[in-house]
Amino acid sequence: MKSLSQAAEQVVRCNKCGFCQEVCPTYKVTGQEFAVARGRNRLMRLVVDGRLTLEGDPELKEYLYTCLLCGACTVVCPPGVPTDRLVAAARADLTRGRGLPFLYRTALHGVLRSPRRLAVPIMLLRLYQNSGLRWVARHTGLLNLLGTLGQVEGILPGIPPSSLRARLAARAGGARGAAPRKRVAYFLGCVTDNLFPPVGEAVIGVLERNGYQVVVPENLCCGVAHRAYGDVAAAEELARQNLAVLAGTGAELVVTDCATCAHTLREYGDLLADDPHHAAAAAELSGKVREVSQLLVEEGFADPRGAVEETVTYHDPCHLGRGMGVRAQPRQILRSIPGLEFRELPEADWCCGGAGSYNVTHHELSVRILERKMENFRQTGARLLATSCPSCLLQLGFGLRRGELAARAGVGVPVAQSGARVVHPVQLLWQSYRNGG
Ligand code: SF4
Ligand code: SF4
């Protein structure tokens, strides 16, 4: 679904029942009718009927862009209106009509097109954090002058000294294992690579411990941000390039620790369905993609024997839980670890508000959505907040730091128990393997 005009019959299926009000995060925090699936469908219907134009109404655009594309409404919708996909199609029409704003074009075309280009702003941010500039910016009020940029500065965790790709380049040997169970390609996403290298190291360690031969191809961004902002042509180009890179690995399966990358790769079949040269390969790839916990549970994994004495709860990333139906697998892994006490999180599938770059473009709304997640986490009393998506790790980690700051300043109820941290389930499995010797 790449254009609203192709989906007119879907838009008119909304029967205005309002069931979506109960689950839509943007409606829950704003109470605005046009910030819920019903309202968004009403606006899109006016566009389909020719009574509104997408380009002509800034308010309409804003309601389309405040949608998290979380898909929560689609689960409760009696006629099954795919509002998230319709909104994405409307955004694609908008981008085709007027192009992307300068900043978005720079970010999506200039920075997010390759790991090498992304390395430049990451290096500058590392310099900013480590040179004392951050201290100056935070203590002199400079951040207040930067408006939204200043507000979102706190989202970033400490940037590690090197990316996972750089660490792997220094590691000898590449793929290992004399008689591998299977050869798998580890699709390394931008966020894990640059912000959470230990997650990627745990994935490789766990896969190798379970007999897989792991290759780490030079893949590009999966293209999710390009799709979310309606730049379908750029998303298709990235998909074609990733197809070529992954085909070159000779791997039987493609594995990733990122819910969003997994979901996006699985949609390559739909994305390239009209491309006669790539449609078949894209459809084949879609069937080969596994999120790492999905793979381990599907094919079996070695019993973790080492104790990890902790309490943990689990947040369902939208792309994994609703998008791929993978909910039980990460919980199964967590429950299998000796010493680890699992506590269910209330509203575990409530979006964290990260939604790619939503926490930058709609910072205040994103924080209000995040606050409900953090309150639910606090209620579990668990110290570890696990999730299978690096973008969610980023947002939830921000929620914890934000809460710590507020607690130190004596503002409101602490959002978490002391020593709380975010973690990928595979990191705990890897820790258990290592503790078990
Ligand atoms: S639940 Fe579905 S049919 Fe009902 S108002 Fe919402 S989008 Fe429309
Ligand atoms: S996709 Fe999410 S934010 Fe968008 S309308 Fe549906 S529930 Fe609301």
SS3 call for 184: strand
Beta pairing class for 253-256 and 289-291: parallel
Residue nearest to atom 7 of ligand 2 (CA): 24
Nearest-10 Cα torsion for 72, 414, 308, 174: 60
Q: What is the pLDDT of residue 405?
A: 65
| Domain assignments of the chain as residue spans, ordered by start | 4-98, 104-155, 164-299, 310-435
- Atom nearest to 351 CA in ligand 2: 2
Q: Distance, CA 72 to ligand 2 centroid (Å)?
A: 6
Residue nearest to atom 4 of ligand 1 (CA): 17
Q: Looking at the DSSP assignment, which residues form a beta bridge with residue 182?
A: 212
Ligand 2, pocket residues at CB < 6 Å: 23-26, 36-37, 40, 67-73, 83-84
Look up tokens 């599938």; give the residue: 349
Q: Residues 105-141: pLDDT tens digits?
A: 777 777 677 778 888 888 888 888 888 877 777 777 7
Q: What's the CATH architecture for 310-435?
A: 3-Layer(aba) Sandwich (3.40)
User: What mean pLDDT comes out for the span 374-396?
Assistant: 95
Q: Does domain 4-98 have CATH number 3.10.350.10?
A: no
State which amino acid sits at residue 38. R
164-299 CATH fold:
Glutathione S-transferase Yfyf (Class Pi); Chain A, domain 2 (1.20.1050)
Ligand 1, pocket residues at CB < 6 Å: 14-20, 37-38, 41, 73, 76-79, 81, 83
Q: Residues 182-219: pLDDT tens digits?
A: 999 999 999 999 999 999 999 999 999 999 999 999 99
Work out the pLDDT band at 222, boundaries 50, 70, 90.
very high
Compute the distance between CA of residue 192 and CA of residue 59 in angstroms, rounded to an integer: 35
Compute the distance between CA of residue 95 and CA of residue 181 in angstroms, rounded to an integer: 45
Residue nearest to atom 8 of ligand 1 (CA): 14
| Chain-centroid distance, C-alpha 263 | 9
Strands (E) located in 202-358:
212-215, 253-256, 289-291, 310-315, 340-342
Q: What is the pLDDT of residue 413?
A: 56
Nearest listed ligand to the Cα of residue 36: 2
Q: Residues 257-281: pLDDT tens digits?
A: 999 999 999 999 999 999 999 999 9
- Atom nearest to 16 CA in ligand 1: 5
pTM given for the model: 0.90
